[in-house]
Structure formats: structure tokens, C-alpha cells
Structure 1
Amino acid sequence: MKEVVPNLLTKGINYLFPPVCGNCGDAIWDNTGICSDCWKDLTFISGTCCHSCGYPFELSHGGEMLCGECLHSPKSFDKCRAALIYNVHSKDMIIGFKHADKTHLTALFTRWLSSCGHETLGNADIIAPVPLHRRRLLRRRYNQSALLAHGLARLHRKRHVPSLLLRTKNTSSQGQFSMTGRWRNVRNAFVLNKKFEKDVDGKNVILIDDVYTTGATLDACARVLKKSGVASVSAIVLARVTKE
């Protein structure tokens, strides 16, 4: 009976104020966060991918293959995995989560991160978000990557350290730069929080971010952590850009 009452209450609230799809805005009759029509258009990354950056391969090549980009420019992080491809079907939902207060999507996105990052989550000592500069955080009021990191850490009972890294440069948005410009933009933009200098030596850290484009931001963060004595740095992101 104790479980029935809350369920009935939830159904009543959903009937009066139905939740809406986080992508198209249509009403949905449960709290899954996304409607079935939008769900079928999303492209989740579940097959063979680059062992380093997680770029999806069309064909399985066997073994731990690297994409051309990672062969040409090895990354500072050890491994990155993304839940889905960032494209016309997923971008509005992700932008809404990032800039339009659609934080109710956190639980759904956390489950997606958990699914794509299961290989590395078991060995994680610390889960931390890619940080925002304090000025941007004040303007936006929340760090979307920190929401995801907190949800993932709670789900897997891992230590969440939201301020492990600090963004010391108020960098411009990466979206306005070329590939080379993105790397320049985040160079020396991050430092390890001095409060955790003695906590990271020999630890396995997982970084959380929303979108992977060139990997420049994650690489800059991983470089700082590796110099601070971290044993391994993996990354789990909500979506990643592909060449298509």
C-alpha cells in the first residue's frame, strides 16, 4: 500500500501536468524524458569505435584500433566514450539541457552515460566534471557537466569531486573556432584545485562533459591531471560530433 499511494500520486500529477519530451516538447505520458518518435531518430554509439577517442567505426576491424586523428595526434586522456552522435536529431535536446534549464533530463542522460561508460566506471576512484569559469557559471547558474557527473557518481557510488579542476581562463565558446583554434583556446585554461593535490596521486579519474567535438577541452584537462600524478584519465560524454 505504501508503494501504491506514491505511484497513484505521480500518475495524477502527470495527468494534470503531463511531462514533455525534452527534444520536441510534445506531451508524454511517463517521465522517460523523451517521446518514442524522437527516441527512434537518435543514433546511439554501441558498435566498434576508436579505442582512444571513441569515434564510431562503420565496420569492425578487431582489436584496439585507433582512428586516423588519434594516430596522428595521440590524446592525453586514456579513453573516451560517448553515448550518442551529436546531429540534427539530438542537438536541440542537448542545447536545451545546456542553456535552457532543461535539467529534468539529467536522470535520462545519466543512464545513457552509465551504459556507454560501463567499461571504465568500475575502476573509477573519482568522477569530476569539466569545469566552467566562475563568470560563465554565474551567468548560466549551473554546470550541465557537473549535474551529469553528480548523477553518475551517485548511481555507481563513486566519489564526486565537482571542483577537482578549476577553469582559470574565461575562454570564448569553442563553437566559434576552427579545429586548431579550439586547441589554442583551451591551452593552459585549467589547473588542479590545490585542495585535492594529495588526493589524486595514483587515482583513476573519469571526466564528464556534454559534447565531444575535437577533444581539445578533455585533452587539456587530462594533461593537467596526468602532470599531477593521476594514474589514468578516462572521459564519458553525452554526445560526440562525427565528420558526417
Structure 2
Amino acid sequence: MDAEASPPRSISGQLRSALGACRDAFAHLPRLALDIALPTQCVSCREPVDGEGVCAACWAKLSFIAPPFCPRLGIPFVYDPGPELLSMEAIANPPAYRRARAAVRYDDVARTLVHALKYQDRTDLAPAMGRWMARAGKELLDEADVLVPVPLHWRRGWSRRYNQSGALARVISRQTGVKLASEALRRIRATEQQIGLSRPQRASNVQGAFKVVADRVADIQGRRVILIDDVLTSGATTDACARALLRAKAAQVDVLVFARVVDSHRAPI
């Protein structure tokens, strides 16, 4: 009887898979038609480009972050002070997370990429941005157990239709094999936009805004977590997220972002 029952389940599964593939194909038809009708343009300068939305000239303008940098915050130094010397920010205001790394400085081209991914539905940019992040965060990813994207409040997620940090985290997870726990951390309180707020206002704005949900604590407890976001500015949001993860007994929390705001003159002490 069991042997007779299994083929219908297999056929049903195949039908569901075929229908799912058809839905995916139809969902991408408008974008495919647009790609055929018009050449892909560089997201920064609007010149025609083959590939992932950034021309060679604008790619060359991206300021990739490389050593020497602060081992705690990942802030680039203007000269090499020697191993393990911290930035003034790391000493004066140490964050809850252990280390932070970023792929690029938040300059004009990086800002354009972030805004296109975040506000203009340019999810096609996520693969390249995610790969650059994976390269910048290799030291962190080699030790990581789980990736957690910074969450949006459900109302903001509804209006945007997707979470840009989640899109980047999925790329990094596929590339590195590190498990993704996209639903573990929730934004339980709507917050104001951080743009235009002072550092103390930013910290106050996100205080208590994040929580690890009860049925996902097992994904975090005892794990080495990497928090994924698009931009690191004052660090208030990532710090609030890190505190929520540590309250859920994460073994450690690191931060990996695409871009970070960097003052033009940084020096260690």
C-alpha cells in the first residue's frame, strides 16, 4: 500500500516544482523584456555597461577598505601604527560587538549603490556588493556560525517589499556556506529615520528596538554571529542589534557591512 501511495506524492511534488518555476519565470519577464529593449546602465554614471550595474570607471572610484585599519572597528588608518593598536573611537566608545568590517568607504559611488539597492529595487546589485563584503569580512566569516541581517520594522518592510540587508546576507550565505538566520532578530518597535539625528539621538532612537524572538533563540545561543547591514554610520543600530543578540546568549557578535562612513583624517593613538 505504501509503495502504491508514493508515486502520486512524487508526481505532485514535480508539479509543484514546475508551477513554481513557471511563476519565477513569469515574475522575471518584465525585467527580461526591459534588459532586451535597453542596455544595462551604470547605476552611478548612467553609461551603458555589461554585467552588474557598475562601469569600470565608477568601479575604480570605489574606495575599498584595506589594512591598515582599526582591528576593532575596521576604520582605515592614514598610516600603519603597528599591530593591534586601536582607533580613538574604539577606546573612547567601545561597541557591544567584537569587530566590524566594511568593503568600501561610504563615498559618492558607494552611496549611489546603496540607495539604488535600498530604494530603487535594484536587487541585481546585491550579488556584486555581497561578494565584495565576503572578501572584506573573510576573517570574520571563517569563524562564523550564523549570519543575521539587520531587520526592518514590518511596516517599513511592507512599503519597501524587501530588506536590503537580507538581500546582501543571502548572497554572502550562498557564497560562504555560513547559515542564514533571517528571522531570528526582529525590530519590535518602529523607529525614526536615523538621517539627521545626532549620535546621542541615534542611540536613543534605537534603544530597545530589537529582540531575538523566543522560537529562534536556539539559532543564536552559543553561536558566533555576524550581523549584516548595508551602511555603518554612527554604529547605533548595529550596537543595539548586537546587544539584543548578546542578551540571547550569542557567543560573540561581529558586524559586516557594505560601506562605512569614514572621516578623511583618521589616526590611531
TM-score > 0.5, shorter chain as reference: yes
Equivalent residue pairs, number: 231
Aligned to 1:100: 120
- Would you tell me which structure has more helix in proportion to its own residues? 2
Aligned to 1:238: 258
| Change beyond 3 A, Cα 1:190–1:14 | closer
TM-score where L is the length of structure 1: 0.91
Q: Where does structure 1 lack aligned partners over 5 or more consecutive residues? A: 1-12
Aligned to 1:5: none
1:15, CA displacement in angstroms? 7.4
Q: Which structure 2 residues correspond to residues 75-224 of structure 1 after superposition, within 5 A?
A: 75-224=95-244
1:32, CA displacement in angstroms? 3.4
Q: Where does structure 2 lack aligned partners over 5 or more consecutive residues? A: 1-33, 265-269
Letter of the structure 2 residue corresponding to residue 165 of structure 1: L
Aligned to 1:38: 58
1:27 alignment partner, one of 28, 38, 48: 48
| CA deviations over 1:40-94 (Å, ceiling 9, x no partner) | 1111101211111111101111111211111011110001100000022321221
Letter of the structure 1 residue corresponding to residue 61 of structure 2: D
Aligned Cα root-mean-square deviation (Å):
1.5
Q: Any idea what SS the aligned residue of 1:202 has?
A: coil
Equivalent residues of 2:145, 2:178 under 8 A apart: yes
Cα distance in 2 between the residues matched to 1:26 and 1:164:
40
1:187, CA displacement in angstroms? 0.5
Cα distance in 2 between the residues matched to 1:26 and 1:137:
31
2:81 alignment partner, one of 49, 61, 69: 61
Cα distance in 1 between the residues matched to 2:236 and 2:230:
13
Cα distance in 1 between the residues matched to 2:202 and 2:231:
14
Cα distance in 2 between the residues matched to 1:214 and 1:69:
11
Cα distance in 1 between the residues matched to 2:52 and 2:117:
15
1:114, CA displacement in angstroms? 0.8
| CA deviations over 1:75-130 (Å, ceiling 9, x no partner) | 10001100000022321221111111111101110110111000011121111100
Equivalent residues of 2:184, 2:219 under 8 A apart: no
Cα distance in 2 between the residues matched to 1:197 and 1:15:
46
Percent identity reads 37
Cα distance in 2 between the residues matched to 1:75 and 1:131:
19
TM-score where L is the length of structure 2: 0.82
1:16, CA displacement in angstroms? 5.7
Cα distance in 1 between the residues matched to 2:262 and 2:219:
36
1:17, CA displacement in angstroms? 3.8
Letter of the structure 1 residue corresponding to residue 41 of structure 2: V
Q: Any idea what SS the aligned residue of 1:89 has?
A: helix
Q: Any idea what SS the aligned residue of 2:104 has?
A: strand
1:18, CA displacement in angstroms? 2.4
Cα distance in 1 between the residues matched to 2:156 and 2:36:
37
| CA deviations over 1:111-159 (Å, ceiling 9, x no partner) | 1011100001112111110000000000111100000001100111121
CA radius of gyration, larger in: 2
